[in-house]
Amino acid sequence: MPANAPVTYLVLFACCILYGISLLLTIHYGFSISPQGGGLFGLLFGLGPVAGPVLDRLGASLPLPWNLDQPWRLITACFLHGSLLHIVFNMWVLVDLAPTVEELYGSSRFLFLYVTCGIGGYLLSSASPFITPLRVLGIASSGTAIGASGAIVGLIGVLLAITYRRSGAAMQQLRSQVIRWIVYLVIWGFMARGMIDNMAHLGGGLTGFMLGKLMLDREPLSPSERKRAYALGWVTAFVVLLSFGFMVFGTRFHLLAR
């Protein structure tokens, strides 16, 4: 794993392992998967599908009342994926963008950024059915939500905030790249509506932009800064591990007994 982005590749590894486990469970329990939609997108998203009950059991984000009862789902959902195309696309964007953010902030604070952006994304996603304007416009999320994309869009929000703080040709070029990513995401979200959680993207992006405005976009310099950054990283890692512990021991096992 590259020395300048170890957490990025640990996230990549965790997502791939969990996708493999979820796919094996889907096969083992003999779930039949109905297509997510018609046309090309339905066909592509139908490759290597994972059953909904398996995702529920492994910690998918659910509507707000369930997430408040089992808050670890806001974190575990950031590492789960529902199909082969889903994980390939998300991991491609992760490897393309995340090392830049990790190099800027350091690995400890990068882990905090990734997890917090994911939480922000799934909070909005799970709350959106209860927000009347979003429900009336037909853009509220519904049902199970999974994927790293909310956290990844949060990293895009962090980079966008950085480009407005700094000046120079390099920052203008980076801002152009970030804006292109945002345009791609909007187009992709519109074309694959119903298969992509646009509210998780919006929540993650807004969370990342706010964090990018608040946090210094450089690695810790002084011993006190390094100490705070390491503490933030270790606390975040502990919360992630604790969340997966609750997923293993705290979620009811009857979800697979169908």
12-19, long-range: CB < 8 A, 24+ apart = 12/91, 12/94, 12/95, 14/79, 15/79, 15/80, 15/81, 15/87, 15/90, 15/91, 15/148, 16/87, 16/91, 18/58, 18/79, 18/80, 18/81, 19/50, 19/80, 19/81, 19/87
Give residue 3's pLDDT.
61
Q: For residue 180, is pLDDT > 70? A: yes
- Confidence bin at 9 (pLDDT 50/70/90): very high
Domain 6-256: state its class. mainly alpha
For tokens 């789960």, what's the residue?
Answer: 80
Contact at 8 Å (CB) between 141 and 128?
yes
Instruction: Write the pLDDT tens digit of every residue in 31-51.
Output: 766 555 555 555 556 678 899
Q: Is the pLDDT of residue 12 over 60?
A: yes
Paired tokens of 83: 């199909």
pLDDT digits (tens, 9 = 90+) for 64-108: 888 989 999 999 999 999 899 889 989 999 998 899 899 989 999
Q: Answer with the residue of higher pLDDT: 39 or 22.
A: 22
Quick check: 22 pLDDT over 50? yes
pLDDT at 258: 38
pLDDT at position 61 over 90: yes
Rounded mean pLDDT, 24-36: 77
Please compute the mean of the pLDDT values over residues 154-175 and round it to a whole number.
85
Mind listing the pLDDT tens digit for each residue in 107-147? 999 999 999 999 999 999 999 888 878 777 777 787 789 99
Q: What is the pLDDT of residue 252?
A: 53
pLDDT tens-digit series, residues 232-257 = 999 999 999 999 999 988 755 444 44
pLDDT, position 64: 86
* Whole-prediction pTM: 0.89
- Asked whether the predicted pLDDT for residue 230 surpasses 90, the reply is yes
For the stretch 197-224, pLDDT in tens is 889 999 999 999 999 999 887 777 788 8
Domain boundaries, the chain: 6-256
Burial class of residue 21, CB neighbours in 10 A (0-12, 13-18, 19+): middle
Q: Given this model, what pLDDT does residue 232 score?
A: 93
